[in-house]
Structure formats: C-alpha cells, structure tokens
Amino acid sequence: MKSSTKLFIASRHLRSRAFQTFSVVAVVAFSVGLAVALFLVSQGLQLGLVHAVEPFELIVGAKGSPYQLLLNTVFLQDAPIGNIGWEDYAELSDDVRVGSAVPLGFGDSYRGYPIIGTVSSLLDVRVRPSDPPWLRITQGRWFEEGRFEAVLGAQAAARSGLRLGDGFRTSHGIVAGDEHSEEYRVVGIAETVQGPWDRAIFVPLEILQSVHEHEHEGEHESESESEGEGKEVTTVLVHPASYADAYRLAVSYQNDSGKQLIFPAQTAIRLFALIGRGEAFLSIVVYAVEACALLTTLLVLYWSGAARSRERMLLRVLGLPFKTLVFISWLEGTIALSTGAFLGELLGRAGAHAAFSLLGEATAIQPTVPLTLQECLAPLVLLSVGSLSTLAVAWRDARNSEEPPR
C-alpha cells in the first residue's frame, strides 16, 4: 500500500473522530506548552539577569542585604539600603586596586522611572575592554555636570512621554512622592542597553545631591558646596585594576561595618538559586501534567482503537498486512501527538513571550531565548514516549483483530 494511502486512512480516522482527536491534541498542547513556557521563562530570566549584570563587576554600597543592593543598583528595583559618604567614593577612586569608580545616586523618580545621579565616567564603562562603551547616546548629548540636564534611557524615552528639550520635575522616592521644585531638561537619549537601565533617567550626581541637600538640609546649602563634604552617594560601580585586586578589595570590605562590596554576578546566581527552588517545584507539577497528558492520550487511543476493531478486521480480511495495520494505527496516534506537541511548542513560546513582555514592561529585563534542544525536550520526550506507547496500543489492537469477523 502506498504511503499516501496509509496517511489518507489515518487522517480520515482522525477527522472522523474529531472530538477524540481534539482531546488528544488539546491535552498534549497544554502540557507541552506549560513545560516549554516554564523552561523559556526560567532560561530567559536567567539570561536576562546575566545580561543585565554583565557591565557591573563590583558594587560598593551601604551595609545590608546584598540582594537589595543588587536589586537596587542593577535592576533598579526596591529601595536603596542607604548611602555611603562621598569620601568613601573618593577613597575608592584613589585606591591602586581600583581601575575606575563611578558614583551613583538613587532615590528619586519621574512617573516611576528611576533617576540615577552619576558622572560622565559612566560612559567609559565597557563589558569587555574590546567592547564599545556600554552606554551610548543615540540622540542629543550627554548632560553637562552642574546643570539641570537629563539623559533618558531607551525605555524611559519611549514610554515616559518625555522628548528632547522637554522639562520635567522629579519626585522623591521610587513611587510618586513629593515633587522637587527644580526642573530638569532632557538633552539626550541613550541607546538601549537591553536591560533594566533602559528605564533610567540620568542626571548629574552633584545636581541630585544638591537637590536633596536643598530639600532636606536647606540650612546647610552653602556648606555642601565645599568639595564633597557632607555629600553622599548610594553606590559605587567599581572596575578593579585586576582580577586579583577584585578579591583583595572584597577581603578589605569583609569587616567593614558600614559598607559592603558585592560581586553582582555571584549575587545574581545566588538570587536565581533561591528563585530556582520554586521553579523546581513547578517543574514537578509540569512533569505531572505531562504524565497525565500522556495517560489521557493513551486512554483516548485505547478506547478509539477498541471502537474500531471491526474496521481493522475488515482491513485484515481485505488482505492488509499486519504490520501495515499496526503502522496505520500508530500513525494516527503519532499525528495527533505531533500536532499537539507542535501547537504546545507554539503556545509555550507565545506564553513565554507574553511573560517576557510583561517583565520587560516592569523591569526592562529583556530575556531572549534562542531555540535550543533543551527547550524541545518536553515535546520530544512526550512525543517519543507517546509514540512508543501508541505503537504498543496499535500492536495490541492489531493482534486483537486476528479474531475473524462474523
């Protein structure tokens, strides 16, 4: 018998039992979609976090939770732990173990977009020495120190409603708080960094400091203008002079009661491991759902096969060989399983992209996951196990059809 005829018979059987076929396809698609979506979200999140952390080699900030320091500085989430003195930054800058140090000030926002006070040396940060600068200006220019000027991160530019030349006032705190009276003017827009800092609005650190001093310590305004005295920074991004210097610096901060130094990559891995515990539980749930899907599929195929015993007997009487009979039954099950697995893969991808979109909206983390064998593992395993089980059911059905019809 021609292959096209076998396919024709199998597909006609599937069409004639549309409800059973739909049940198998839907159950398989749901379970595969769930597994794929979970895998993609998990992998995408991990890759997104790793990508977001890449530019930050060391971070020095106030003593407290390293996770909070990481979340605040790298992911621009959560409130800052507190500030450290300008002299601490100055000390780091002068340290021979430090290649470069970039001070950062947090605490203000504009419509939910975090304000980062910084200096021009931020533009010198590179992920690898051979790479172009991590943060680049795509429109306008970088702000001038000492002026109320601002540069928008890519997402802030796209979604905050601000454009080049616009003026805006910032609020105290991450959520809308008291509005500061000073107005910044947008002078530049940064190219996307594919990470949380796309949500940032960069302003001169000394201006940010002066605004805060003016608001909270107005009486000391004149004093604060003296070089660094009384000023604070939230964190310092540190590029160590060498790999060994990074560890020497870490050791020197171990016993510091007011400050801490973290390796963001390591802290992110630990943070992800914490998240991973929940993910492991979810994986078990997904495997259970897959097992249920497989069982449902086999039951549907079993019942469907039992209902067609007369047809198989007729085909056998017509002279259809045993192995062709098995093949056609197997083909039916495998077509249904493959369709379900394929749709599940699409559903999983769609679900993951929806989750990524929501995540990107809220955090600007931009997870991207290329198609990998690991991602296809759930559909492939289900398809393989299902296909083998279908073969067993088909074999059994064909054997049962050896009882001749009356």
Name the segment binding other proteins (CB under 8 A); options: 85-93, 259-267, 317-325, 352-360: 317-325
Kindly tell me which of 3 and 226 has the beta carbon lying closer to other proteins. Answer: 3
Kindly tell me which of 218 and 404 has the beta carbon lying closer to other proteins. Answer: 404
Which helix (H) or strand (E) segment holds residue 86: the answer is helix 86-94
Number of residues this chain uses to bind other proteins (CB under 8 A): 22
Q: For residue 141, what are the CA distances in angstroms to 60, 68, 167, 207? A: 28, 32, 16, 17
Least Å from the CB of residue 6 to other proteins: 10
Binding residue (CB under 8 A) for other proteins from 316, 326, 329, 366: 316
Least Å from the CB of residue 297 to other proteins: 20
Tell me how far apart the alpha carbons of residues 378 and 69 are, in angstroms, rounded to a whole number: 37
Name the segment binding other proteins (CB under 8 A); options: 114-122, 173-181, 307-315, 375-383: 307-315
Name the segment binding other proteins (CB under 8 A); options: 4-12, 36-44, 271-279, 373-381: 4-12
Tell me how far apart the alpha carbons of residues 166 and 185 are, in angstroms, rounded to a whole number: 6
Binding residue (CB under 8 A) for other proteins from 317, 362, 377, 388: 317
Q: For residue 153, what are the CA distances in angstroms to 127, 164, 299? A: 18, 12, 55
Binding residue (CB under 8 A) for other proteins from 314, 354, 358, 388: 314
Considering only residues 8 to 27 of the shown chain, the ones binding other proteins according to CB under 8 A are 9, 12-13, 15-16
Tell me how far apart the alpha carbons of residues 224 and 12 are, in angstroms, rounded to a whole number: 84
Kindly tell me which of 303 and 322 has the beta carbon lying closer to other proteins. Answer: 322
Applying CB under 8 A, does 404 fall inside the site for other proteins? yes
**Taking CA 143 as the corner, what is the angle to CA 224 and CA 128, rounded to the nearest 5 degrees?**
105
Q: In this structure, which amino acid lies at residue 242?
A: S
Q: In this structure, which amino acid lies at residue 135?
A: L
Which among 369, 344, 363, 357 has a CA at the least distance from the CA of 31?
A: 344
Least Å from the CB of residue 5 to other proteins: 6
Applying CB under 8 A, does 141 fall inside the site for other proteins? no
Kindly tell me which of 132 and 319 has the beta carbon lying closer to other proteins. Answer: 319
CA trace torsion 245, 246, 252, 258 (10° rounding)? 140
CB 224 within 8 Å of CB 217? yes
Which among 389, 379, 386 has a CA at the least distance from the CA of 32?
A: 379
Applying CB under 8 A, does 2 fall inside the site for other proteins? yes
Least Å from the CB of residue 316 to other proteins: 7
Kindly tell me which of 173 and 405 has the beta carbon lying closer to other proteins. Answer: 405
Considering only residues 358 to 397 of the shown chain, the ones binding other proteins according to CB under 8 A are none
CB 196 within 8 Å of CB 367? no
Least Å from the CB of residue 403 to other proteins: 9
Tell me how far apart the alpha carbons of residues 174 and 107 are, in angstroms, rounded to a whole number: 6
Contact set with other proteins (CB under 8 A) = 1-2, 5, 9, 12-13, 15-16, 310-311, 314-322, 404-406
